[in-house]
Structure 1
Amino acid sequence: MRSIDHLVMPFDALGAARQWFLGLGFVVAPEAAHPFGTGNACVFLADGRYIEPLSIVDPAAYDAAKDEGHLFIERDAALRNLPDRPAISGIAFRSDDALADREQLLDEEAGEEGLVEFGRTMRLPDGGSAELSFRLAFAAIHAADAPSFFYCEARQTAKPDRSSLTTHPNGATGMAGVTIKVEDPEMFRDYLASVADSRVQENGDDDWTIPLDGGRLDVVAGGSTPLAIASLTVTVADLAFAKKFWEGQGVAYSESADGVAIACPNGLGAIRFIEERS
C-alpha cells in the first residue's frame, strides 16, 4: 500500500503560485530550482506530505531535457501544453527503493524502464540550506494527456527541518486523499490498483476507493478525458475558522456535505478542505 509523498501543480510562474497559496493561508517555502529547467515553491504539511507548484525557470535546460527524453519533463510538457490544462498533473508516491518499485511495476505491466536521478539545494527559512538527492521511477501512462504517477525516493541521509514551514494560518494539517475521474472505471481498475499497490473497494455506481497508507484515492466515473486528477483533499484543524479566513481574504469557495472546495487558478481542478477528525 503506497503513501502519497506530494502532488505536482503546473503554474506559468512561481510568483503567481506563491501569491495564490499565500492568499489561501498557506506558508510557502523559498523557491528552488531543478537541474532540468523547472523550479518549485512548495507547501509542506505537518503530516509529511506536500504540494509542489512547478514552473519552467530555465527554458533552455527544460527544452534540452525534453529533447533528451527526460521522463519527468516529457510528461510535464505534454500536460502543460494542453488547451484544458489540469491543475494537478501528477502524484508522487513515497519510495524507499525506486529501483525495486520500478521492477514491481514492470512485473505488473504498469511501469516504465526509465529513471530520473537528480540533486538540488533547498533553501531554508533561517537562511541556511540543505542538499537533497532524489531517484524517481514511473508508472506507465495510457495517453499523453494522462497524469503522471511516479515514485520518489529521497536519497539523502539527513532530513531537513521543515517544521517552520508546516504551521499554516488557515490551520491546514495534512493531505487526506485525491479524487480521480475516469471515463471508463473498468479500464483503469487493475492499473490504478497496481499504481497504489492496494485493493479496490467498491462504492457502487462505478465509483470506488483505493486505500493508501495515510490517505485514499477516490475514483469516480465522469469527466471529458480518459483519466484526470479532479481534486486534492486537505485537512484543516477547524473548518469554520478556515472559512472565516478565506472570507477575510476574499477567496471564493463552494460548500459540500463534508467540506468546501476552492477552484485552482492554474487549470482544471480544485483543492477540497475537510475538518481533521481525531
Structure 2
Amino acid sequence: MAAMSSASKKPLAIDHLVLPAQSLADARGRLDSLGFTVAPDGIHPFGTRNACVYFADGTFLEPLERGDAALRAEAERDGNVFVKRDSLFRERIGAEGFSALVFATGDAAADHRRFRDAGLSAGDELFFSRPFVDAVGKSDVASFRLAFAAARDAVPFFFACERVNAPAVDRSRLENHENGVSRIAAVTITAANPAATGALVASISSARAEDTSAGARIDLANARIDILPSAQEGAEGGSGSFAFESVTFAVRDLAATRALFEDRGIAWQERDGRLAVSKTTGQGADFIFEEST
C-alpha cells in the first residue's frame, strides 16, 4: 500500500462523534432500545443540549439537540463555530445525522495554529464549561477547549477536543452497556474522492493514510477510519465531497448482542459476520457491531 500522507506529530485518537438529532427524547429512546446506557441530558452554555453515550475507553457518542433558540442565536452572532456548524449541517443535510468527527488532544491551541497554517481552520477556538451529572445524580463541572477544521466545500466537520477539566464523578455505570459495546472500533466515511478525503483526514489527525483496494484507511491509537467510494466517485470530487456514513462498535459477545436485538425487535442484517443496524430517527448513522476485545 502506498502512503498518501505522513504524520508531523503523534497521531490524534478519536474522542467522540457528534450526532445531530431532532429530539433528544427520540435519540434516548432509540439508543436505549439498542442496549446503550444514555447519560442524563447535558446543557451547553450556548444553547445546545446532548445526551451522551460513554464507553470504557473514554470515547463517546454525542447526540445533539438544538436546544435554547435565543442562546444559539447569540452564540452564532458571537462566532461560536460549534453552533454555526451544527446549524449549517441541519440546513444542508437535515436534523438527523452524523456531523462531526472529534479527535482527542492535549493542546487545542496548538492544533488550532496547525489547522490555520494548513488552511483548514473552520474558525476561532472555543472554550466552555458545562455541568456533568453521573448515573446516580452526582454532579461536577466539565471544561473543554476546541479547535475546528473543515474542508472549504464541506458541511461535515472535524475538531480537536482538549478536556481541560475532567469532572470528579464515577462514570462506570454509564460505561456499562447491555448490548456489550466497549468502544468505538471504526468510523466509515464515503467520499467522491477517497484519496483526497484520506489526505484531508490524515492532515487533521496527524496520522498516516494508506491506499487500499477499496479506498483508504487511517489507523489511529484507538480506532480506524475507513474511507470508501461514494456513489459520486470520481477524480473531480474534492475533499469536501464526503459524508460520515457509519460507526462500528466492538462488543464482547456478538451472539448476546444479536439475542438482545431479536428480543427487542431491532431490525439488523448480517454482513461478513457483523451485525448492521440502519440509521433511523434518533440514530444518525448506520451502526455496525463486531465481536472484538
User: Post-superposition shift, 1:142?
Assistant: 2.6
Closer/same/farther in 2, CA of residues 230 and 157 from structure 1, 3 Å limit:
closer
Question: What secondary structure is seen at the aligned counterpart in 2 of 1:192?
Answer: helix
Choose between structure 1 and 2: higher strand proportion: 1
Question: What secondary structure is seen at the aligned counterpart in 2 of 1:131?
Answer: strand
Alpha-carbon contact 1:87-1:265 (below 8 Å) kept: no
The residue aligned with 2:159 is 150
Q: 2:78 aligns with which of 68, 77, 81?
A: 68
Aligned residues between the structures: 275
The residue aligned with 2:8 is none
Confirm whether residue 180 of structure 1 aligns to residue 189 of structure 2: yes
User: Post-superposition shift, 1:264?
Assistant: 2.0
Relative contact order (alpha carbons < 8 A, sep ≥ 6): 1 or 2 greater? 2
The residue aligned with 2:286 is 270
For residue 183 of structure 1, what is the amino acid of its counterpart?
A
The residue aligned with 2:268 is 253
Alpha-carbon contact 1:38-1:55 (below 8 Å) kept: yes
Question: What secondary structure is seen at the aligned counterpart in 1 of 2:89?
Answer: helix
Closer/same/farther in 2, CA of residues 159 and 103 from structure 1, 3 Å limit:
farther
Alpha-carbon contact 1:230-1:268 (below 8 Å) kept: no
Closer/same/farther in 2, CA of residues 71 and 223 from structure 1, 3 Å limit:
farther
Query: What is the distance in 2 between the residues matched to 1:107 and 1:30?
Result: 38
Question: What secondary structure is seen at the aligned counterpart in 2 of 1:81?
Answer: helix
Query: What is the distance in 2 between the residues matched to 1:54 and 1:258?
Result: 31
User: Post-superposition shift, 1:59?
Assistant: 1.2
Confirm whether residue 131 of structure 1 aligns to residue 141 of structure 2: yes
User: Post-superposition shift, 1:143?
Assistant: 2.2
For residue 191 of structure 2, what is the amino acid of its counterpart?
V
Give deviations 1:146-186, integer Å, cap 9, x for gaps: 21100111111554321111111111111111000111123
Structure 1 segments unaligned to the other structure (5+ residues): none
Closer/same/farther in 2, CA of residues 194 and 179 from structure 1, 3 Å limit:
same
Give deviations 1:173-200, integer Å, cap 9, x for gaps: 1111100011112332321111121111
Query: What is the distance in 2 between the residues matched to 1:203 and 1:263?
Result: 25
Using structure 1 for the length normalisation, give the TM-score.
Answer: 0.93
The residue aligned with 1:228 is 243
Alpha-carbon contact 2:81-2:123 (below 8 Å) kept: no
Query: What is the distance in 1 between the residues matched to 2:41 and 2:156?
Result: 24
Query: What is the distance in 2 between the residues matched to 1:263 and 1:83?
Result: 17
Question: What secondary structure is seen at the aligned counterpart in 1 of 2:165?
Answer: coil
Alpha-carbon contact 1:170-1:241 (below 8 Å) kept: yes
Alpha-carbon contact 2:276-2:288 (below 8 Å) kept: yes
Alpha-carbon contact 1:85-1:268 (below 8 Å) kept: no
For residue 229 of structure 1, what is the amino acid of its counterpart?
F
**1:199-238 matches, cutoff 5 A:** 199-205=208-214, 207-223=215-231, 226-238=241-253
User: Post-superposition shift, 1:103?
Assistant: 1.6
Question: What secondary structure is seen at the aligned counterpart in 2 of 1:93?
Answer: strand
Question: What secondary structure is seen at the aligned counterpart in 2 of 1:87?
Answer: coil
Closer/same/farther in 2, CA of residues 151 and 159 from structure 1, 3 Å limit:
farther
For residue 33 of structure 2, what is the amino acid of its counterpart?
G
Question: What secondary structure is seen at the aligned counterpart in 2 of 1:164?
Answer: coil
Query: What is the distance in 1 between the residues matched to 2:131 and 2:50?
Result: 12
Query: What is the distance in 1 between the residues matched to 2:99 and 2:270?
Result: 24
Closer/same/farther in 2, CA of residues 125 and 153 from structure 1, 3 Å limit:
same
User: Post-superposition shift, 1:2?
Assistant: 1.2
**1:79-158 matches, cutoff 5 A:** 79-82=89-92, 84=94, 87-144=97-154, 146-156=155-165, 158=167
More off after superposition, 5-14 vs 106-115: 106-115
The residue aligned with 2:207 is 198
Structure 2 segments unaligned to the other structure (5+ residues): 1-10, 233-239
State the percentage of identical aligned residues.
Answer: 35
Alpha-carbon contact 2:246-2:286 (below 8 Å) kept: yes
Alpha-carbon contact 2:141-2:166 (below 8 Å) kept: no
Query: What is the distance in 1 between the residues matched to 2:96 and 2:227?
Result: 16
